[in-house]
Structure 1
Amino acid sequence: MRPDRPATALTPFARLPRAYRQSHIAHSTVDAHGRAHWLLTDMPPASQLDEPHDARVVTVENGRPYETHLSGVRLRHPSLGALPDGGFVLADARSRPGEEQVQVFDALGRPSWAFRVGDAVEDLLVDETGDLWVSHFDEGIYGDDELSWPGLRRWSGTGDPLWEYRPGPGHGPISDCYALNVGTRAVWACPYQDFPLLEIREDRVVRVRENPVEGARGFAVHADRVVFFSPYGHHDRIVDCRMTRDAVRPLGYGRLLRADGGELGRRRRSVCRGPRIYVQEKPFLEWGVLDISVT
C-alpha cells in the first residue's frame, strides 16, 4: 500500500435551521434522493414511556427547509427513513416479542401502517422505490426473534417480507452487519466476521469479494473503486481501494476531516448511498458528504 495520502475534508451538505435547534434530535438521515431529514421531539423519546406523542420531521432539500408533523409516535429509540411519496418510516432499534416496532406515516404525518422487522436494528435505509433495507447487529441475529436471524432483509413499505440474506458459496452467515450501502442499482454490505464485500442485485448476492479492510463502519462505491471509512482502530481513516472480480485491493489510506478542516469526533452517524458517505457529528446539526464520483 502507498504511504498516507493527504487528508480529505467533507463537503458541507445540509444544516438544521437555527429555529429548530431547541428541540431534541431523535434521529437524522439522508434519503435516496439526497434530502436531509431530522426527527425532532420536545423531549427525548425514551423519556415519554409508551404514551403516543407528536413529533416533526424537518427536511432540507437544496438548502430549503420544510417540516412535516407526525402524530401518534410510539417509539422510544427510533431510526428515521423517508419514503418517495413524502411519507416517513420510523423503526425502533430494540423490540419485545410481538411488538410492532415499525411505524409508517403518510405525507400528512398520519400513522398508516405498523409491523415488525425483528430486534436489534443496525441500519434502516429506504431505497428509491420505497422498500426498506434493514440490517441487524449480533444481539438480534443470535437472539430469540427469527426475523433478525438473517442479518439483512428487504421489506415493503407495508411490512411484506421481500428478500432475506442467505449464506452461499464464499459467503457465510452474517454475525453483525457492520456497514450497509443502498445505492441506485445495487445494495452492498460488509458484515462480520470476515468482512467480505457483498454485492446484491435483483434479490441475490451476485458477487462476493474478499476484503482485507476489517471493521469499517461505512463505505462508498463507484465503478471499480470502493472507499472504506472508519475501520478497526481508526475512527477517521479512509482506505482507498480498487475492486477486481473477486477481491478488494487497498491502494492507499488517509484521514477524513470535518468540512471546516477540524478533526472528526468519535460520536457520529453515517449514511452510505452509492458513491457517497454522509457523515454527521454530535450534536447532529449538520451533514457533510464525501462523494467519490467527483474526487
Structure 2
Amino acid sequence: MRKTSLIPYAHLPRAHHNRHVLTSTVDVFGAAHWLLAERAPQRGGDVVPFDALVVSVHPGGNAELTELSAVRARWPHLDRLSAGGFVVAASRARRHEDANQVQVFDALGRETSSFSVGDAIEHLLVDEADHVWVGHFDENPAGIRRWSATGRLTWTSDGARIPGLFDCYALNVSGTTAWACPYPDFPLVEIRPDRTDKPVRVWSNHIRGATAVAVHGEQVTFCGGYGEERDRLAHGELTETSVEPTEAGLLTLPSGPVPRHRRVVGRGSRIYVQAEPFTTWGVFDLSS
C-alpha cells in the first residue's frame, strides 16, 4: 500500500513550548494558531476564567501573539476571524453556562460577545465571511449549523435531507463552502447556504469512518477510518451521484507512523494533521 508523508507546515516557536497546548487549528487563510495556558485544565467543577495566549504562525513563518482575557472553556475549540479576533468555544455546554459557551474576542484579546451553539461540538471552523460552522457529535441531534460571529443562526441542516446525520465525523470549510462526511451512512455533502440552486448536494459514499476530507475539483480524499484503517488515505472521484473509489494508501509523518492522538483540520484541498505533543502541523494537499 502506497505511503504518503505529511509535508511539514507550521511549528510553534520553541520559546512557547513550556506552556500547555489547550488546542490548535489552521484557519481558512492558512495561518496556524495555538491556544496556550500556563497549565492543563483540571477535571470536574466549574471553570475559573483564566488568561490565555494565542500564538499565530502565518504562511511564510511570521509569528504573532494575542493575549486573551478571562477564557472560560475547559476543552476549547479555536479559530480566527478575518479582522484578527478569535472565537473560543467550549466543546461541552452545561445548562447554566450556555450563554457563555462561545466567546468572541477582538484583535486586542478583549471579549466582545458570547453566545451558545449547543452541546457536543465536534468541529468548529470559521469561513472567509466570518461565518462560524459547527458540526456536532451524536449527543446533540443538531447536526451541522452555521452561525454569524454575533451568534445569529444563519443555516441549519434541519430539513436539508442529509441522510443519517447523527454525528458529523468530518467537516471541511474553505471559502464560504462546507463539506461534510457524517455518520452512519458517510455520504459526501457539499453545503453552500447562499446558493439558491441546490444549496446542498449529496453523493453516496462507501468509504467509512473518515475524520477528515479534502476536495479538489472532481477529486476527493478521505483521511481516517476504523481500527487498522485509522491512517488510511482513501481517494475517489465524484460522479453525478456517488463517490467512486480509485485507490487507498497510508498517511505517515515524515519520520514514520502518525501517533494515535492527533488533530485534523480540513480546508479545501488540504488536510492538516497535528500529532502529540501538538507543537507542529503537517499537511496533505490533494491539489499537488
Aligned to 2:191: 200
Q: Take 2:140 and 2:192, find their aligned partners in 1: how far apart are those partners?
A: 25
Q: CA RMSD in A?
A: 1.4
Which region of structure 1 is more displaced relative to structure 2, 194-203 or 128-137?
A: 194-203
In structure 2, what residue type is equivalent to 1:239?
A
1:38 CA drift (Å):
0.1
* Aligned counterpart for 2:27 among listed residues 10, 26, 31: 31
Cα deviation for residue 282 of structure 1 reads: 1.0
SS in 2 for 1:8: strand
**Cα distance, 1:140–1:168 mapped onto 2, change above 3 Å:** closer
1:54 aligned residue (30, 51, 55): 51
SS at 2:140 equivalent: helix
The residue that corresponds to 1:159 in the other structure is 151
Q: Is the 8 A contact 2:128 2:176 kept in 1?
A: no
2:124 corresponds to 1:129: no
Give the AA of the match of 1:71.
S
Displacement of 1:173: 4.5
Q: How does 1:190-229 map to 2 (within 5 A)?
A: 190-203=181-194, 205-229=199-223
SS of structure 2 residue aligned to 1:86: coil
Residue aligning to 2:247: 252
In structure 2, do the counterparts of structure 1 residues 152 and 46 end up closer, same or farther at CA, with 3 Å as the change threshold?
A: farther
% identical equivalent positions: 49
Equivalent residue for 2:39, pick from 23, 43, 46: 43
Asked if 2 retains the 8 angstrom alpha-carbon contact of 1:45 and 1:75, the reply is no
Match of 2:11 in 1: 15
| Cα distance in 2, alignment partners of residues 205 and 64 from structure 1 | 37
Is 2:263 the partner of 1:264? Answer: no
Q: Is the 8 A contact 2:163 2:187 kept in 1?
A: no
Q: Which 10-residue stretch deviates more, 92-101 or 197-206?
A: 197-206
Partner of 1:79: 77
Query: CA separation in 1, counterparts of 2:72 and 2:176?
Result: 34
Residues 127, 176 of structure 2: 8 Å contact kept: no
Three-state SS of the structure 2 residue aligned to 1:90 is: strand
CA distance in 2, matches of 1:293, 1:185: 19
Number of the residue aligned with 2:175: 184
Structure 1 residues 14 and 41: alpha-carbon distance in aligned structure 2, compared to 1, 3 A threshold = same
| Residue identity matched to 2:282 | G
Question: CA offset at residue 9 of structure 1?
Answer: 0.6
Native 8 Å contact 1:207 1:246 kept in 2: no
Aligned length: 280
Q: Spell out, residue by residue over 1:207-242, the C-alpha distance to the aligned partner (whole angstroms, 9 max, x if none).
A: 110000011010100000001001222111101101
What code does the residue aligned with 1:68 have?
A: T
* SS, match of residue 139 in structure 2: helix
Distance 1:269 1:154 in 2: 22
CA distance in 1, matches of 2:206, 2:169: 14
Q: Assess if the C-alpha contact under 8 Å between 1:198 and 1:205 holds in 2.
A: no
Secondary structure in 1 matching 2:257: coil
* Deviation beyond 6 Å, 4+ runs, structure 1: none
1:75-100 deviation digits (Å, cap 9, x = unpaired):
11111111111000101010112522
Per the normalisation by structure 1, the TM-score is 0.91
Residue pair 2:125, 2:173 contacting (<8 A) in 1 also: yes
Check conservation: 2:160, 2:200, Cα contact below 8 A: no
